[in-house]
Chains A and B, each alone.
Chain A
């Protein structure tokens, strides 16, 4: 995690350093760990206490990718000691070459895809702003990433001829959200109940919290307003799907 957007260069404003962002102040899934069974407690606790070393990416690649991840899954509002490791989770997946059961025919293997993309993003930064990607301002970084998000790399780089941008973008986002939203601190942020065996739930309807869950308390959350990655109304319209489709039926 690089805290370069404090103060947030694009907005010129400061982000508050939050122990726990989200609308459920004081809610902690980890505080419930004694109610979980052994296997789950071990798996989830390990996620909080252990961060795998970077073994797949080179130091240079890791620096660039860390900067990319800081923009596609930003945590600048989180206190330093409460940031969720993402790069190390991705690195571990690639180091172990752990697959999700398939590869699109127009995609290179996952490991190659990341290496290609890292090279392409660095070249894009050099070409457009004559600097390394990780040294760019937040706004410039976001401009480059936004062009990948839109599927129209600016400037168009040769690497994107070898794999569809949208597929790489989907894989990158998928890896990032998997690391972030599988972490108990993210569960606290969004008010998810977390592991629930052997205890289970008893209040199923009307959004009621269990006795150990917290009620929602909304407030004006201070994400940087002029960030390019804020939700835009038009982007919510007709989009296809590129992800691994887990979670339904």
Chain B
């Protein structure tokens, strides 16, 4: 049987294998949203690239199931310690393991950040400004929206208004609830996206079949993950994806440049991959953990940590789930969890008494997840649990997605516990601050109001968090940030970080699209710099200019409507 990626696509074979002592140009650690895009870009540009992935290389037909409990292996299940006043749930909530990383189990909401998200400090006096503007990233948003591609409304009215290359999805009962509630209250909403799920077939990827198992891994191949969008193209162009390779530390030479990555292979034996440059794309927990674990003489506090900010300014978004019970049947398990939203409360409104805002989105918990939400939201147990679950098909769910600001005390550190390889595990600390609490309270009340307006007979809510970004933030000032605007570490000229951890602030948009857009931009920069990355310590911060010819074939210029 060929290695399947979705219902129709197969993995290009054979994949190039570098020899043990081969020197490659780039070693990328982590093949998730960012790593997948990077490896594809760099391979197409002719670089010798090896990408290490701690988890398996999924065969979607054999390894994935259309089942909640059976999808446990998609997540980063290894031990981490979580604490603080508002500890974050990790694992299935926000961390992937395996080729495709978190993009395998994201719900695939793909809204852009707003222009204001890049200037949070200038506009609202909170958080920090990005070292780039929305307009620097916009061409990459447009490019990635075509490459994934993103389905959604022809007119998305918030932030920088735009359309989408694929038409919107049909609504389900859950989407109807959001649109009905918002409309009753005079709140604008959009339906059918933006979501990186195919509403019509695309090359060797079929359209969505509305089975609702998006976050269990899309066996259909309709939902975009770098496993099926960028990785196959990378392999066709000579990249090697090395699965079951858990990076343990980045190796630093005498002259202060990195020269490769130590990793544990499938058998648990330590190996070394020599590389002329290293890009860490391990996401907001594993990236700082790897750099902290790489501490060595000259870098006592961890690599790229002369500022002391590595691991700090970790962010998660408020993700309160509001559930409403209706007289009529909803059947909330049908259709993608992500398919309708409103960003009407996204921007700062001084009348609300806090900075920044939130989005309102559909969510679609399957029975196990919904039962857990009822434990939290209603204190259901015993016969009460049985009773509330018998009404599963009468419930509908909406989510708040609220911006939590970057705070120094929200951080990733090393714990005393060790993992199966003897590496210290990550300890994550998370505390809500005053602005965050006010924002969450307001957002929660607003979404409950919408649920009542939609006609719910009972409304309950559960506090939770979604997504993870920050912890190796980018900035202009090397004393307050870890990397520059292209992801290059301030301290080591041939060490890069490219994933969600470089985000200085997070807006109220799901970060997946932005992470991939940033990766495509970093790739353009690396390609333009060419060999200078490998030999020179000079830091050139000029814009690279976008390269459209690096897109996977058949995705170029697929008609992204431009709205002037």
> Chain B, interface size: which category?
35 or more
Determine if B392 and A221 form an interchain contact, defined as CB atoms under 8 angstroms apart: no
A39-B393 contact, Cβ under 8 Å, with A227-B383, A244-B91: no
The 8 Å CB contact of B68, one of A105, A182, A202, A243, is A182
A240-B463 contact, Cβ under 8 Å, with A101-B90, A216-B329: yes
Interface string of A188-210 (1 = CB under 8 A from B): 01111101111111111111110
Residues of A within 8 A of B379 (CB): 149, 235-236, 239
Assembly CA distance A244 to B369 (angstroms): 9
Question: Taking CB as reference atom, which chain A residue is nearest B75?
Answer: A101
Interface string of B388-421 (1 = CB under 8 A from A): 1110110001010100000000000000000000
Determine if A205 and B95 form an interchain contact, defined as CB atoms under 8 angstroms apart: no
Q: Which of B78-86, B133-141, B152-160 has 4 or more CB atoms under 8 Å from chain A?
A: B78-86
Determine if B219 and A37 form an interchain contact, defined as CB atoms under 8 angstroms apart: yes
Is B363 in contact with chain A by the CB < 8 A criterion? yes
Is B368 in contact with chain A by the CB < 8 A criterion? yes
Assembly CA distance A54 to B93 (angstroms): 29
The 8 Å CB contact of B83, one of A98, A105, A232, A240, is A105
Is A159 in contact with chain B by the CB < 8 A criterion? no
Residues of A within 8 A of B335 (CB): 201, 204
Question: Taking CB as reference atom, which chain A residue is nearest B326?
Answer: A207
Determine if B369 and A170 form an interchain contact, defined as CB atoms under 8 angstroms apart: no
Is B319 in contact with chain A by the CB < 8 A criterion? yes
Number of residues on chain A facing chain B (CB within 8 A): 79
The 8 Å CB contact of A181, one of B367, B393, B397, is B367
A105-B427 contact, Cβ under 8 Å, with A192-B333, A201-B212: yes
Assembly CA distance A101 to B68 (angstroms): 16
Q: Which of A58-66, A67-75, A123-131 has 4 or more CB atoms under 8 Å from chain B?
A: A67-75
CB distance from A122 to the nearest CB of B (A): 20
Which residue, of B69, B78, B109, B465, has the highest number of chain A Cβ atoms within 10 A? Answer: B69
Determine if B91 and A101 form an interchain contact, defined as CB atoms under 8 angstroms apart: yes
The 8 Å CB contact of A248, one of B95, B319, B329, B368, is B319
Determine if A236 and B378 form an interchain contact, defined as CB atoms under 8 angstroms apart: yes
The 8 Å CB contact of A197, one of B211, B328, B387, B465, is B211
Is B423 in contact with chain A by the CB < 8 A criterion? no
A244-B381 contact, Cβ under 8 Å, with A181-B371, A201-B211: no
Selected A-B contacts with CB under 8 Å, 14 pairs: A105-B427, A181-B371, A195-B65, A201-B210, A205-B173, A221-B387, A229-B385, A231-B387, A232-B384, A240-B463, A241-B89, A247-B366, A249-B337, A249-B363
Taking Cβ atoms with an 8 Å cutoff, the residues of B that contact A are 7, 61-70, 72, 75-83, 87, 89-93, 95, 107, 109, 170-173, 176, 209-213, 215, 219-220, 317, 319, 321, 328-331, 333-335, 337-338, 361, 363-373, 375-390, 392-393, 397, 399, 401, 427-428, 458, 460, 462-467, 510
Determine if B369 and A246 form an interchain contact, defined as CB atoms under 8 angstroms apart: yes
CB distance from B194 to the nearest CB of A (A): 14
Residues of B within 8 A of A198 (CB): 7, 209, 219-220
Residues of A within 8 A of B68 (CB): 182, 246
CB distance from A7 to the nearest CB of B (A): 16
Residues of A within 8 A of B428 (CB): 102
Determine if B375 and A101 form an interchain contact, defined as CB atoms under 8 angstroms apart: no
Assembly CA distance A142 to B384 (angstroms): 13
Question: Taking CB as reference atom, which chain A residue is nearest B320?
Answer: A241
Residues of A within 8 A of B393 (CB): 190-192, 207, 216
Determine if B382 and A228 form an interchain contact, defined as CB atoms under 8 angstroms apart: yes
Question: Taking CB as reference atom, which chain A residue is nearest B63?
Answer: A39
The 8 Å CB contact of B92, one of A73, A74, A228, A244, is A244
Q: Known pairs A197-B66, A241-B377. 4 more at Cβ < 8 A? A: A145-B381, A181-B389, A192-B392, A201-B209
The 8 Å CB contact of B384, one of A47, A230, A239, is A230
